[in-house]
Amino acid sequence: SCAPAARILATQLNQAGNSREAGEVLRKALERNPDSGDLHYSLGLLAAEEQDYSSALRHLGKAAELLPRHPRAQYNYGLALQHVGRRQEAEQQLKKAHQANPDDLDVTNALLVFYMQQNSPLQALPYAERLLAQAPGNPELGQLVQQLRQQVR
C-alpha cells in the first residue's frame, strides 16, 4: 500500500503551504485504497483546516468508522460534529474517544468544554476533576472544580 508514503508527502506539501496539492495526493491515494482509515483521517483534517466542514465530516466520519480504536479519529470527528451543531453525535464520539483513551487530556478537556457549553455542571464535574488530578497545582482548574461542586450540590 502506498498510503503511508502519500500521507508523508501530503503532510510535507501542506506544511509548505500547498494544501491543494496535499489534498490531491491524498485523494489519488484514496482512490487506490478506499478503505484506508488513515487516508480518510488525513483528508478530514485537511478539509477541517480549510473549513470545508461537509468534506471534513464525511472523511472524519469514515475514519472514525474504519479506525474504531484510534481515539484521535473519534475525537476529531466529535469536534467536527460539534462545530456544525450536531451535539448528540458529537457527545457520543467524544465519549468513545474518552473510553478508548481515558488519559488523553485533549479529549477530557473537550468533554469538559462540551458540558460547560451545555450548562451541565453535573456532567462536566468528573472531567474537571480528572483534569485537576493530572495537574493538581492548577489554580484555574481548582477554582472550576469548586464552582462545579457548588452548582451540583
Task: Round to whole Å and give the CA distance between 121 and 112.
Answer: 9
- The pairs formed by 60-69 with CB atoms below 8 angstroms and a separation of 24 or more are 62/37, 63/37, 63/38, 64/93, 64/96, 65/37, 66/35, 66/36, 66/37, 66/40, 67/37, 67/38, 67/41, 68/96, 68/100, 69/100
Residue 56 pLDDT: 95
Residue 1 pLDDT: 55
Digit-by-digit pLDDT tens for the chain (153 residues) are 567 777 877 778 777 777 888 889 899 999 999 999 999 999 999 999 889 999 999 999 999 999 988 888 999 999 999 999 999 999 999 999 999 888 899 999 999 999 999 999 999 999 999 999 999 999 999 999 999 999 998
